[in-house]
Amino acid sequence: MWVHTYTRVMARIVMKFGGTSMAGIERIRSVAQRVQREAAAGNEVLVVVSAMAGETDRLVQLCREAAPLHDPTEYDVVVASGEQVTAGLLAMTLQAMRLTARSFMGWQLVRASGVHGNARVEAVEAPLLDEALKGGTVAVIPGFQGVSNDGRVATLGRGGSDTSAVAIAAGVRADRCDIYTDVDGVYTTDPRIVPRARKLDQVTFEEMLELAGVGAKVLQVRSVGLAMREGLPLRVLSAFEDKRGTDIVAELSGASMERNQIAGIAADRNEARVTLTGVPDQPGTVARVIAPLAEAGIAFDMIVHAATPNTGSSDLTFTVPRASLAQALSAIEARRGEIGFADIVHDDAVAKVSIIGVGIRSNPQLAAKMFDVLAERQINLHAVSTSEIKVSALIAEDQLELAVRVLHTAFGLDAEQAA
């Protein structure tokens, strides 16, 4: 006897829409059309929505007026209402398009932990959602909120909506989480610096983490890290245009495997350099300098320790975020006796340029090429740091745009035509 089994290839997709996409009924209708398309293609669809643009600010302002130092649990009750409204409106808009759809409130299925006003998704009540999704219902969930252990409304921290969408997607074992935003994907570099920047079809999680970490603000770093840990592919795409976006994946596939070994060039102006001269050239020096920074919670980066041979003395350079410069200087000064240094100088007209790509791991020639290209243009390197998939150089800020452009061209990233 033969048993015929028919299997249908359907994916479970989480679609996340931000506040600009939900600002008003017309835009909600256009969101609903995108949802309809995914559902019509046979996918199980779960939509995570933000409040209408401006609404959360309005609610936060009401809380401030009511009480300058307000109870975060009551704050949560007030601000969570914005996404509740858009979830209901999107569900009824989908129904008007003859889709089966319903909203689920955060308190019905998203368990959150941590402090009120800044909680994180702990678990998703998957059975309730599973039943709906398998029955062909589009589930609409207010982003940015859940229910705390004490049974109260908890919000997930402002701007954490990408991360909450990824957490919900992981909770329901989605095949993919699509983040609809104002931009149409991830680019090889900032198109404002290089008009011929190219949109990437694919980028790895690691590359995206480095791109996001040095200033590409398409996605929140936390959401990328979470997706990487969960092995959940992300897709970044425009909420307003019908264009292919960028897939963020564990490993490159298809045509992207053949792409340049460098995914992109990142530029970061948020750097300041501190140099201590006449530091004793002995074990423990770096540790003694870094300790006061760490204690003060100041992020540091790009440490260079260069000894002058046979003098017993050395110079030590590191970078900190510009906003932390004053704090860093005073933390170091306070330990002057313990550290021992001749002078302390700083420079906040510096910037960091980085090449990023999984190819760097296996090809040291890429770093060498970067230094050659910059040297040819007389760009001086104050410091260099490398990681598995990134090489960064600290340069004068007024040379940053030149550096990005020449590297973008040298690594073959320029688009055929201006974007």
Site residues for its own copies per CB under 8 A: 25, 28-29, 59, 62-63, 65-71, 73-78, 80-82, 84-85, 87-89, 91-93, 95-96, 102-103, 105, 107-108, 151-153
Question: Cβ 159 to its own copies, closest distance in Å?
Answer: 21
CA distances for 151 relative to 71, 128, 171, 406, angstroms: 16, 18, 19, 56
> Which of 102/346 has CB closer to its own copies?
102
Question: Cβ 37 to its own copies, closest distance in Å?
Answer: 19
Helices (H), 284-389: 285-295, 325-333, 336-339, 365-376
Question: Cβ 123 to its own copies, closest distance in Å?
Answer: 18
Question: Cβ 19 to its own copies, closest distance in Å?
Answer: 15
Question: Cβ 119 to its own copies, closest distance in Å?
Answer: 16
> Which of 89/266 has CB closer to its own copies?
89
Who contacts 66 (Cβ-Cβ below 8 Å, separation ≥6)?
A: none
Question: Cβ 75 to its own copies, closest distance in Å?
Answer: 7
Report the SS3 class of residue 385: strand
> Which of 75/318 has CB closer to its own copies?
75
> Which of 152/335 has CB closer to its own copies?
152
> Which of 35/356 has CB closer to its own copies?
35
d(CA 95, CA 186): 33
Residue among 308, 201, 194, 191 at smallest CA distance from 247: 201
Residue among 111, 141, 240 at smallest CA distance from 182: 240
Could you please report the per-residue DSSP string of 48-103? EEPPPTTHHHHHHHHHHHH-SS--HHHHHHHHTHHHHHHHHHHHHHHHHTT--EEE
d(CA 60, CA 78): 8
Who contacts 54 (Cβ-Cβ below 8 Å, separation ≥6)?
A: 19, 23
> Which of 29/335 has CB closer to its own copies?
29
Question: Cβ 241 to its own copies, closest distance in Å?
Answer: 23
> Which of 147/404 has CB closer to its own copies?
147
